[in-house]
Amino acid sequence: MATAGSGERTAYIVTGPTSGIGYRTALELAKHGTVVLVGRDQGRLDEVRKTIEGAGRQAAAVVCDLSDVGSARRAAAEIIALGLPLAGLVNNAGIMEMRATKNAQGWDTTFATDYLGPFALTEALMPHLPDGADVVFVCSGVEDPERRPATVAGFRGGRYISAEASARGEWKPGGSSLPGGDAYATSKQCDLAMVLAFARETPRLRFNAVEPGFSPATNLARDANVLLRFLGKYVLSALAPYIKYWSTPARAATVITNAVLNESGETGVYYDERGRPMLGSTQVRDPQFQDRVVAETRVLLATLSA
């Protein structure tokens, strides 16, 4: 665990703490320090903050719409201004849109929320994180076109052309027939590429990734029809603990928390739903691909700096 070097309790930032895996992770990390809750709705953030405070623990709320890079940068400044002894960042928030929409910049909303916003938030926070601090990204095995449970579900892996093309909502042909499948898989592949590139670029911090397993009870499939959502919440979630590659938000939160509190000093590790090291796709393991994704993202985001 990274220590803050002061008498204060260490602080951990969690994005998307208002639902599913992020909610359980926030409750878990609150046992180890102050949790900075980063989400898009003040009311929902306050509810989580009150739950944590009701258990005698500490939390602060920062409003941030991760689909908007400007909002991500403002949230980073607000977090830094809190003056807390930051020890870790969990980039958990994510969406899987079944009907593509555009954000304020005209960019694909899934790509912006799942990748560009977290990228901007992380880069803005990094200079303020002490040596040894842990940055954990909640990724997804659907980025790998060879991964059996992902292909069975209809995914065809990340379909990256360039950061600009992804922002336009364009994906390499031959992809998934699942609505939103290519946007989601490509965003998650970029997250993993970023983790692996940042781990090499900035060895004073630790960058690790988690594939949390399939948790059917969360709100990730909120665009799905009522029947599918009912099945996910009340039928499939009961089976989840017994099925390979599946999980629950509570179990995923344990894996993520262990990755954040990791004392081994490991960086650039991708953990599976049981917390064991796993491999990403052949493409994402290629350092040249990782560096290209990061370099193209920096050029794209620089267009918003002026």
Ligand X SMILES: NC(=O)c1ccc[n+]([C@@H]2O[C@H](COP(=O)([O-])OP(=O)(O)OC[C@H]3O[C@@H](n4cnc5c(N)ncnc54)[C@H](OP(=O)(O)O)[C@@H]3O)[C@@H](O)[C@H]2O)c1
Report if residue 22 touches ligand X, rule: CB under 6 A: yes
With contacts defined by CB under 6 A, name the span among 4-12, 34-42, 158-166, 292-300 that binds ligand X: 34-42
Identified binder of ligand X from the candidate list 220, 255, 261, 300, rule CB under 6 A: 220
**Tell me, what amino acid is at 161?**
I
User: Cβ 247 to ligand X, closest distance in Å?
Assistant: 8
Nearer to ligand X, 3 or 225 (CB): 225
User: Cβ 3 to ligand X, closest distance in Å?
Assistant: 27
Report if residue 40 touches ligand X, rule: CB under 6 A: yes
Report if residue 94 touches ligand X, rule: CB under 6 A: yes
Residue nearest ligand X, Cβ-based: 20
Footprint on residues 53-72 left by ligand X (CB under 6 A): 64-67
User: Cβ 289 to ligand X, closest distance in Å?
Assistant: 21
User: Cβ 151 to ligand X, closest distance in Å?
Assistant: 15
Measured CA to CA, the distance from residue 138 to residue 135 in angstroms comes to 10
Segment holding 252, helix H or strand E? helix 249-261
β-pairing, 11-15 vs 34-39, is parallel
Report if residue 257 touches ligand X, rule: CB under 6 A: no
Report if residue 21 touches ligand X, rule: CB under 6 A: yes
SS3 39: strand
Identified binder of ligand X from the candidate list 33, 39, 169, 280, rule CB under 6 A: 39
Are 63 and 42 in contact, with CB atoms under 8 Å apart? Answer: yes
Identified binder of ligand X from the candidate list 110, 122, 140, 297, rule CB under 6 A: 140
Residue 107 phi/psi, 5° resolution? -95, 155
Please, which residues have CB within 8 angstroms of residue 43's CB and are 6 or more apart in sequence? none
Footprint on residues 154-213 left by ligand X (CB under 6 A): 212
**Tell me, what amino acid is at 176?**
S
| Tokens at 194, concatenated | 């970023």
SS3 19: coil
Q: In terms of C-beta density within 10 A (0-12 exposed, 13-18 middle, 19 or more buried), how is residue 5 classed?
A: exposed
Nearer to ligand X, 95 or 261 (CB): 95
Measured CA to CA, the distance from residue 208 to residue 198 in angstroms comes to 9
Report if residue 256 touches ligand X, rule: CB under 6 A: no
User: Cβ 200 to ligand X, closest distance in Å?
Assistant: 23
With contacts defined by CB under 6 A, name the span among 93-101, 274-282, 284-292, 297-305 that binds ligand X: 93-101
Could you tell me how far CA 7 lies from the centroid of its own chain? 30
β-pairing, 134-138 vs 34-39, is unpaired
Binding stretches for ligand X (CB under 6 A): 16, 18-22, 39-41, 44, 64-67, 92-95, 113, 138, 140, 212, 214-215, 218-220
